Structure 1
């Protein structure tokens, strides 16, 4: 999975496009989990951690994303961090742009 697809998967998971509701807190938590994976942790290590509260159904998918392309995790976490800082209308536009770029 390339960085664009991984980015879109994470932000889409925690964004309601219809209502423009973005769960920045859960995207931030995903960033922290990805960093833990980069440090050598596994889903089993994080299973009972407070770090995965709210993303219990997604933290293992984050590990799959990490395992598929570990060298791009730094870029992905930087992109997600920038996304969090953007205002909601910009976030929705960013998602639309990335979706358009990924269309085949």
Structure 2
């Protein structure tokens, strides 16, 4: 067992991005954003699952906007171009699954 700490880092700095675990077939990232902060457009060569633990984040995926909240999960296939904008202060878990 491994308990991974992802405490709030936004009191100490602006945007926070940290790899929190790396297992054989997946990487787990924690992203924390203040309202209004953004992550520029990019893609990944892996399947990606986005879980918003707190807040509301607007993703633009291949030009299409989608709001992700604690009530849903976003799944993207490899190489889908996307960017994100925090509508509210947000805490996001990103899971990249290797093919």
Question: Taking structure 1 as the reference length, what is the TM-score of the superposition?
Answer: 0.20
Relative to its length, the structure with more helix (as a share) is 1
TM-score (norm 2): 0.21
Higher percent of residues as strand = 2
Which structure has the higher relative contact order (CA within 8 Å, separation 6+)? 1
